[in-house]
């Protein structure tokens, strides 16, 4: 499937090059920032009373565009993106949880399609990305098995884990293990947005973008391993400065 998408993007690129013969070309570079909401896609079926939750984060990027003609171009971003998630226990284990903050350095490469009027235009981005898992931090609460409360009484009342064991909080940086962690992330993305030209050189834009990871966060280091993938939705605002061409 990824190969077919790359072939399709290459065809769009060749069409754009063919139709841009004799036209002036334009380059743009800018800055954008925004919000992300990441979901960890995995299977907790083998771990009872466990649920994953999406968490918010932020992103900052330097977008660079090369416009072949009025409706088609190529865009490359250099971006810092947070892909965070939470794991919480339910039922008897309620109160045990952790939140993970993951930082990625990414380089999305996209075909950029635009449409509309002279100043206000819509656009569509389609492509893929390569990212590097730069850092990770985990915080939460866990139970101490050596601090069980033995004075709960001999009755039939059902207690929660947090009532039997003293929960202790933690906040620490994660040390990567080269045998376990896959720090290179590859995926597909799609984005839609609006842009408005405020002057011949400057325009502002807003974009909503979805990123779908194709690579497991873990290497194949154990039997019956459960894969884990990032799925990230984001919105961003930015400004672009153009030079060359019309």
Q: Give domain status of residue 18, yes or no.
A: yes
Q: Give domain status of residue 103, yes or no.
A: yes
Q: Give domain status of residue 94, yes or no.
A: yes
Q: Measured between alpha carbons, how far is 97 from 56 in angstroms, rounded to an integer? A: 16
Domain containing residue 217: CATH number: 2.40.160.20
Return the pLDDT at 51.
83
Return the pLDDT at 17.
45
Return the pLDDT at 137.
97
Please report which helix (H) or strand (E) contains residue 11, including its range.
Answer: helix 2-19
CA-based end-to-end distance of the chain = 37
Question: What is the span of the domain harbouring residue 84?
Answer: 2-138+174-243
Q: Give domain status of residue 165, yes or no.
A: no
Q: Measured between alpha carbons, how far is 154 from 197 in angstroms, rounded to an integer? A: 74
Q: Give domain status of residue 109, yes or no.
A: yes
Return the pLDDT at 170.
85
Q: Give domain status of residue 147, yes or no.
A: no
Q: Measured between alpha carbons, how far is 71 from 179 in angstroms, rounded to an integer? A: 46
Q: Is 146 left (phi over 0), alpha (psi -120 to 50) or beta?
A: alpha
Give the chain's domain count: 1
Return the pLDDT at 94.
67
Q: Give domain status of residue 14, yes or no.
A: yes
Q: Is 116 left (phi over 0), alpha (psi -120 to 50) or beta?
A: left
Predicted confidence pLDDT, tens digits, the chain (246 residues): 555 555 555 555 454 444 444 455 789 999 999 999 999 998 765 566 678 899 999 999 999 999 999 899 999 999 999 999 998 877 656 667 889 999 999 999 999 999 999 999 999 999 999 999 999 999 988 765 555 555 555 554 454 555 555 677 889 999 999 999 999 999 999 999 999 999 999 999 999 999 999 999 999 888 888 899 999 999 999 999 998 765
Please report which helix (H) or strand (E) contains residue 87, including its range.
Answer: strand 85-89
Q: Give domain status of residue 164, yes or no.
A: no
Q: Could you tell me where the beta strands, DSSP code E, fall in 117-180?
A: 120-143, 167-173
Q: For residue 180, what are its two tokens?
A: 């376990």
């Amino acid at each position: 499937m990824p190969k077919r998408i790359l072939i399709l993007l290459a065809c769009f690129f060749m069409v754009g090059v063919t139709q841009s013969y004799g036209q002036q070309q334009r380059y743009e570079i800018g800055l954008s920032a925004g919000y992300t909401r990441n979901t960890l896609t995995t299977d907790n079926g083998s771990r009872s009373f466990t649920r994953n939750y999406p968490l918010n984060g932020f992103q900052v990027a330097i977008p660079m565009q090369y416009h072949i003609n009025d409706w088609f171009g190529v865009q490359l971003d250099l971006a810092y993106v947070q892909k965070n998630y939470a794991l919480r226990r339910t039922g008897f284990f309620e109160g045990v949880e952790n939140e993970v903050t993951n930082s990625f350095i990414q380089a999305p490469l996209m075909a950029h399609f635009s449409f509309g009027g002279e100043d206000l235009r819509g656009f569509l981005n389609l492509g893929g990305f390569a990212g590097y898992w730069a850092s990770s931090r985990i915080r939460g609460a866990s139970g101490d098995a050596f601090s069980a409360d033995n004075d709960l009484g001999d009755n039939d009342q059902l207690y929660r884990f947090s009532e039997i064991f003293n929960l202790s909080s933690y906040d620490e940086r994660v040390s990567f293990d080269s045998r376990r962690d896959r720090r290179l992330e590859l995926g597909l993305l799609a984005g839609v947005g609006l842009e408005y030209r405020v002057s011949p050189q400057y325009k502002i834009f807003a974009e909503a973008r979805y990123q779908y990871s194709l690579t497991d966060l873990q290497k194949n280091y154990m039997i019956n391993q459960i894969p884990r993938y990032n799925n990230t939705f984001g919105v961003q605002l930015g400004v672009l400065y153009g030079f060359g061409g019309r």
